Structure 1
């Protein structure tokens, strides 16, 4: 029986005609994903499609061969199951199911903030499928968002968008994340800083009553605004002439109601000891303005509100700054930065700084050390001068035979 002749094609190189084996056309290509899985990509009627991911390359090859057989038979149709996922549906599912690096669900406030972003700036992507979102589209949205809402808002929303689409990459829905990294670092350039000792003294001179005590506790105890609002009489006691505050909870305004929850991290539950010279101010405030029951709130809001909001604290601070003639970008949270930076100046270690601030990781506390340029200058001054031979350290050399 005669063997079937292999089809060949002719080609010419430098005037010499040769023959080569005709390449067999295959339908679709195999693609290895970052997860190690495989999928089949193919074109049909001018549109590109991709199959779900397979754990094994041979499974993907069998799927490709089956698709090729259907195409040759004329029965291959665009699969409805490969329709691109809508961004709006995927993003809202992401908010509900996303877990932090520690495996915990998103905090209520973080979840509400993400949903707010999806309803505002990120609603631009609602009509699009995930596969239709590319870098040029993201850059176009970011430019418009910077113009309408500011660079900081655009950067915050870009970070959430990048996190959502990164999950889509991990789910093998997208090949790569289309959000450029530089867009997530957008800032307005309006930096705020911790007040100086002189500025803080002038602010305190224009405050009295509970607001003066609130500023003292925030600046010399490092309490967050929510932790300050949730303080009760039983959380404060005087030991050996010093005020000791037990921080166990914080109050937050969320979705039109106040919620009381544990501090931002597990390490946020802590004891804070204030300087001795603050004790008279705190004792006077407790005696005059706070009820005698253990659950009486230390700081009472006006107009019948349940807790003192961060906005109220900010207005109190800015009014005192205006009365003192201070025109500086200082916000209420910067009082906590005053506490952290001054601890860093005093030379405390990273572990002590982390415990005092109630940070969950040393990295958060390390920023106070990195931002404190005075420490860097002090350490630099300890290095020897090259023009002063007396400051050089001479190491003896080993004797050679």
Structure 2
């Protein structure tokens, strides 16, 4: 399926640097809209409800074409879930510039596709607990659990109203937990997997892996880093710009995704030698030279790096759905385990949220060094533990 009427104006007006959110974007028309937006240069957030496989397959297609994106699993009928989704999109890829409201509205989908076919021919007093249990079991066999949970909640609400109006004596929807749903956890690489990925990427690109995992620093921010961005005492990088790559291959240096993106990222001490070696061996030699350049001296290219990343990911045994961007979750996890507050983590990652900014306390430079120290201790401990295990196996 193609959208010729949509593609033409998008190609005439590239959307590089824009963030788009497409609701109901994992399949069908929503997926085609997402493809068109990504082809025009936008970073696309794909909203879905329990369609993880379809969403990540679509994101993999975006990535192959050089356009990053994220999946946002959220029930649009739940205001809290919608706010969480919006906060996630803002934090991960920046403020939303384009919203495509493609999702079918509630309660039409669960009512039309699930509740009405199961109970439309029955009187209210004919809907019994065994009938509900049978219907739910059939729905679970036919569709995803999140959709079934939403349909069950709708049915329960209808029957509760019937009970209140004394049309039936008791609500037949009595299955404990049937209306609840849980999103899958985000994949988080272990310390050993991060080390293996860095090794597989090779000497020139291994520091990018560590910066993304333990900064965390976005790839487009790393593309703009220069020698002058780095300090060795304290070990840190100063991020002031980003250099995304257009679909045409042209590199565009400019502002970070949001004002919060301008920050100093203090790095764990174990990266000290990695940074020094990279400066000596691979960075441009000019005082203000780029930190990451290719084998022939050209600036970092997202497309060629993406091919190297795909090979490294396969070699380490991570799924195709695991993106370079997902390394940031390792840094988030270690920061939290090291005692970082939400605000500390937001500052490190360059994330912005108006709501969180009003609620959470300040995180200053000294505090960021403490968080980096905590990450350093945890990574070193994990490496020692891994080495002991390998020795024990070899004994």
Smaller-chain TM-score bracket: 0.3 to 0.5
Q: Specify which structure has the higher proportion of strand.
A: 1
Larger radius of gyration: 1
Q: Specify which structure has the higher proportion of helix.
A: 2
Q: Which has the higher contact order (CA 8 A, sep 6+)?
A: 2
TM-score (norm 1): 0.45
